[in-house]
Amino acid sequence: MAKIGINIATGSLQQQEMIVGIDLGTTNSLVAIIHPESKKPVVLKEFDGNALVPSVIHFGEAGTVTVGDEARQYLISEPHNTIFSAKRLMGKSYNDVRDHASYFTYKVIDDNTESLVKVQVGDRFYSPIELSSLILKELKKRAEHILKTQVTKAVITVPAYFNDAQRQATRDAGKLAGLDVLRIVNEPTAASLAYGLGMSKEETKTVAVYDLGGGTFDISILRITNGIFEVLSTNGDTYLGGDDFDHLLIRHLAEKFGYTASAIMSDKSLFSHLRQVAEKIKKELSEKDEFTGIWMEKVFKVSRKTFEDLIQPLVDKTIQCCKNALADAQLDISQIDEVIMVGGSTRTPFVKASVSKFFNKPVHDALNPDEVVALGAAVQADILAGNNKDFLLLDITPLSLGIETMGGLMDVLIPRNSKIPAKAGRQYTTQKDGQSGMRISVYQGERDLVRDNRKLAGFTLSGIPAMPAGLPKVEISFLVNADGILVVKAKELRSGIEQSVEVKPQYGLTDEQVEKMLLDSITHAKEDMHTRALVEAQTEAKILLDTTHQFIDKNRSFLSAGEREQTLGAMNLLQKLVDTGSKDEIQTAIEQLNEISRPYAERLMDHAISTAMKGKKV
């Protein structure tokens, strides 16, 4: 079994095992390592020399799952069961992606707009975490095949603008793929590391990282001080990239060849053919001033100038984002020391020239823009492995720290591998009317249920003034100070009452124990995910049963005998399923109960409104 030796004091790994760097991209993903001999970062390539793995998953009829180039071939012919851009769904609710629903050719489920999205393929549902884990599994398999050794540890990159939920989702995807994710690194940070920026302790630099990929554009402004990266601002457009260049060229070609817009939209094979030609033209125009091709036995030409005129408005848009990012960081162009180019579309000379002109300096483009993020992830992995002794290594928390929430679930406030000192806070509320105390139990570990983790402390915040359930705002904050001491504070914000406790998380914990806890979390990742989903459904059911019970008690006169009977029946069924049912059974019963109560709940609402109106003199 692989051994994970973590030095608790430094957070570095003590054993020489290959740690890979992974760029988990929206369009393509890839893996890089530090070459054992040259000590330089290199991307892992298959025999065909290809390092990029398209981030596409195809679900076949017979239950087969393929990832990468092979899956990509099904994008047009089987759009419903070929999933692309899963990264765009990470940590998102349907509300978050609704405006772009038409972008996805597969089914994104919106049963409950507040909960996280799921993707439906046939009669199965997949969370974005599961989908990303399938890509990561494929990358792990390839890396093992190329390196001829087991790969269990990785550094994974994410966009700088990813929030905690999206970062956690990426961690979970790694865990589910059997990877110990040592650190989540910002993509622009990785790109800077690949160019060697921030590797010297004394250096202070302000860096702009311009990342234009196939479907997304990001600009990040970073400040590097003594090896510490700070994101000053980010800006961008999550639906702008090289694919849009292709679309402009498709439109241009269609006009040239005499097709109407509706003809190309309705003829899938024509569209896909034009798309291939467009991408070919775009790539060739990165090298040459003119493209010459043949369409329907006729020669045609597209000049670089024509292409540049077409894409000018889009490039201008990215420059405007750069201006916004600078304004947010309160910086002037002259204060940017370095500009780094990331993403395949920065190969377009016009893009490079426009960025260089805007920042008024040459840009870093020596490395392959598709590989630069993965290469930097490998550099970070090497630093974590302790191989790069010159580099400042910050202390980190070796295990996640969190509290117990309803149903015995672990709610992580400070994820493992966070730099210390670290600070985090989250608001919670009460479950019952008039609840005057709240028990806060602090745990350490990577499992989803607190009973599988290690309890560090517990205390009760008492004296909460009587309020209806859900109204008190209890802010729980965690602070790990530079000595590794954890201070947990609970404060009810409406009344101001507060209480705190201090613990030493590492006390009495050996390296072996930390190692075991990490391995357990990987072994049980799938089972934990199911348990969490079940407990969440049970909790939702219990809350719904409580509120429905109160509602029908209070509004007896509003319900017909039939409605009351139906409601009680549905409540009985749900009550039974809470203890014995599966997650899906509970969810179906929740929906049934909601369906039954909706008509009279709406009636009551209408009544309340009309009563209120009557009271008003218009």
The answer to whether 247 contacts ligand AMP (rule: CB under 6 A) is: no
Between the CA atoms of 236, 239, 242 and 246, what dihedral angle is there, to the nearest 10 degrees?
-150
Residues numbered 254 to 283 that lie near ligand AMP (CB under 6 A) are 279, 282-283
The answer to whether 69 contacts ligand AMP (rule: CB under 6 A) is: no
DSSP secondary structure string, 564-615? HHHHHHHHHHHHHHHHH--HHHHHHHHHHHHHHHHHHHHHHHHHHHHHHHHT
How many degrees, rounded to 5, is the angle at CA 64 between CA 58 and CA 69?
40
Q: Which position has the token pair 């003034």? A: 465
Which ranges constitute the DSSP H helices of 79-212? 94-97, 128-147, 164-176, 187-194
234 vs 345, which CB is nearer to ligand AMP? Answer: 345
Among 7, 286, 324, 555, binds ligand AMP (CB under 6 A): 286
How many degrees, rounded to 5, is the angle at CA 294 between CA 288 and CA 296?
160
Give yes or no: 211 in active site: yes
242 vs 581, which CB is nearer to ligand AMP? Answer: 242
CB of 342 to ligand AMP, least distance (A): 7
Size of the site for ligand AMP (CB under 6 A): 18
Give yes or no: 187 in active site: yes
CB of 44 to ligand AMP, least distance (A): 16
Span interacting with ligand AMP, options 156-164, 241-249, 516-524, 608-616, rule CB under 6 A: 241-249
CB of 367 to ligand AMP, least distance (A): 13
CB of 232 to ligand AMP, least distance (A): 23
Q: Are 448 and 530 in contact (CB under 8 A)?
A: no
Among 11, 214, 472, 581, binds ligand AMP (CB under 6 A): 214
CB of 218 to ligand AMP, least distance (A): 11
- Among 118, 107, 44, 55, smallest CA distance to 81 is for 107
Q: Which position has the token pair 């020239």? A: 353
The answer to whether 515 contacts ligand AMP (rule: CB under 6 A) is: no
Give yes or no: 23 in active site: yes
Candidate list 130, 138, 211, 244, residue with the active-site label: 211
Among 19, 22, 24, 28, binds ligand AMP (CB under 6 A): 28
283 vs 426, which CB is nearer to ligand AMP? Answer: 283
Question: In the 3-class helix/strand/coil scheme, how is 445-500 assigned residue by residue?
Answer: CCCCEHHHCEEEEEEEECCCCCCCCCCCCEEEEEEECCCCCEEEEEEECCCCCEEE
Segment holding 43, helix H or strand E: strand 41-43
The answer to whether 345 contacts ligand AMP (rule: CB under 6 A) is: yes
Cβ-based neighbour number of residue 302 at 10 Å: 22
159-198 footprint of ligand AMP as x/- string (CB under 6 A): ----------------------------------------
The answer to whether 68 contacts ligand AMP (rule: CB under 6 A) is: no
Q: Are 407 and 540 in contact (CB under 8 A)?
A: no
Q: Are 68 and 56 in contact (CB under 8 A)?
A: yes
Span interacting with ligand AMP, options 238-246, 312-320, 463-471, 598-606, rule CB under 6 A: 238-246
- With both helix axes pointing from N to C terminus, report the angle between 525-554 and 583-614 in degrees, rounded to the nearest 10: 30
Among 8, 11, 27, 90, binds ligand AMP (CB under 6 A): 27
The answer to whether 344 contacts ligand AMP (rule: CB under 6 A) is: yes
Q: Which position has the token pair 């109407």? A: 260
The per-type count for the chain, helices as H runs and strands as E runs, is 15, 26
Alpha carbons 275 and 245: distance in angstroms, whole number: 10
The answer to whether 348 contacts ligand AMP (rule: CB under 6 A) is: yes
CB of 264 to ligand AMP, least distance (A): 19
CB of 27 to ligand AMP, least distance (A): 4
CB of 162 to ligand AMP, least distance (A): 16
Q: 439: helix, coil or strand?
A: strand
Candidate list 187, 244, 452, 536, residue with the active-site label: 187
The answer to whether 213 contacts ligand AMP (rule: CB under 6 A) is: yes
343 vs 398, which CB is nearer to ligand AMP? Answer: 343
Span interacting with ligand AMP, options 221-229, 339-347, 447-455, 503-511, rule CB under 6 A: 339-347
CB of 353 to ligand AMP, least distance (A): 13
The answer to whether 242 contacts ligand AMP (rule: CB under 6 A) is: yes
* Non-local CB neighbours of 355 within 8 Å, separated by 6+ positions: 210, 318, 319, 322, 339, 341, 346, 363
- Among 159, 205, 197, smallest CA distance to 379 is for 197
- Written as six digits, the tokens of 475 are 């802010």
Among 178, 188, 343, 505, binds ligand AMP (CB under 6 A): 343
- Among 178, 88, 68, 184, smallest CA distance to 128 is for 88
Residues numbered 391 to 430 that lie near ligand AMP (CB under 6 A) are none
Hey, which residues are catalytic here? 23, 87, 187, 211
Interacting residues toward ligand AMP by CB under 6 A: 25, 27-28, 213-214, 241-243, 279, 282-283, 286, 343-345, 347-348, 370
